[in-house]
Chain A
């Protein structure tokens, strides 16, 4: 199943006044938060490389001083550690590049599971500071959708962040993708399910009101239906036309 999201031929923000500002600000906040997290990860990789290079230098100086050869096994291990960190930093930069390019086109055909996985990968550090694990996306089939990738990632992240308050004792948030096709085979739904959550607590409603409004606003803009009141999950539904 592939296809076009109903009604999303262009993003129409005209005449939405304050809402437009809210969305832009939310987008900037998301971009800023993810950029800071990426910068932090790169700094960590650089810091480890720096210490390993420094240790290599220390060992060289000690070996000269003592008139003993360098331990080649140790040198090889340190080199491997440095290469691992370079690989780690390169992966982070690749993610950053994909994220940065998500704003290139207002509407684009994307692989949904890739977009969701990138959102989770970028958000993992932020979640881990709250001891929350974001499990890999559970999806074994490709789903192409036409959407605004950046706004979809922003929405998904807002939803996942709202789920932080509802994590179970294992503090693990699961994200699944599923699809269903209507009986007449003309219409299909794709669901992004944020699962393994505690029941929705109505007492949280006031605190979350602003965030919820933003989520609904983004959902409307992207023609998505968001059910945040389910017992143990949040469901984002994308209605598609089948080809």
Chain B
């Protein structure tokens, strides 16, 4: 499984990527939607984990952009809020979401579930 993590907090996303690599998951990270789109020009990913709130291009907008080019790509949202609003956005978008701070095992379980196409 090859994943792309997108979050504007460098310390967060780089550490998460390293921890995932210890668990056999190939994770690359980007600090912005723009950087993520650039990576997508040359690299292929199965799944993107997107922070909802980011400057310039937020996770929801980024997902739409990515889907235009890669309609089969899967997504998980990450959010710091855990508000009803975020839940509704996730539901409306048919995207699973996790609230920060996340348990890495929960994240991996969700990644597998999403990749297998289970609800």
Which residues of chain A have a CB within 8 Å of any CB of chain B?
A: 36, 39-40, 43-44, 46-52, 54-55, 58, 62, 81, 85, 128-131
The number of chain B residues with a CB under 8 A from chain A is 21
Distance (whole angstroms) from the CB of B107 to the closest CB of chain A: 11
CB distance A50 to B101 under 8 Å? Answer: yes
Given contacts A36-B83, A52-B15, A55-B18, contact A46 B53 (CB under 8 A): no
Task: Indicate if B9 sits at the interface (CB-CB under 8 A).
Answer: yes
Question: Chain B, 51-68, contact with A by CB distance < 8 Å: what is the 0/1 string?
Answer: 001111010000000000
Which of A47, A62, A130 lies in contact with B12, CB distance below 8 A? A47
Which of A40, A62, A81, A128 lies in contact with B81, CB distance below 8 A? A40
Main secondary structure of the interface of B (DSSP, over half): loop
Given contacts A62-B22, A131-B56, contact A44 B80 (CB under 8 A): yes
CB distance A129 to B80 under 8 Å? Answer: no
Task: Indicate if B104 sits at the interface (CB-CB under 8 A).
Answer: yes
CB distance B80 to A48 under 8 Å? Answer: no
Closest residue on chain A to residue B101 by CB atoms: A50
CB distance A43 to B81 under 8 Å? Answer: yes
CB distance A43 to B100 under 8 Å? Answer: yes
Closest residue on chain A to residue B51 by CB atoms: A44
Distance (whole angstroms) from the CB of A224 to the closest CB of chain B: 31
Which of B12, B53, B83, B101 lies in contact with A129, CB distance below 8 A? B53
Distance (whole angstroms) from the CB of A121 to the closest CB of chain B: 17
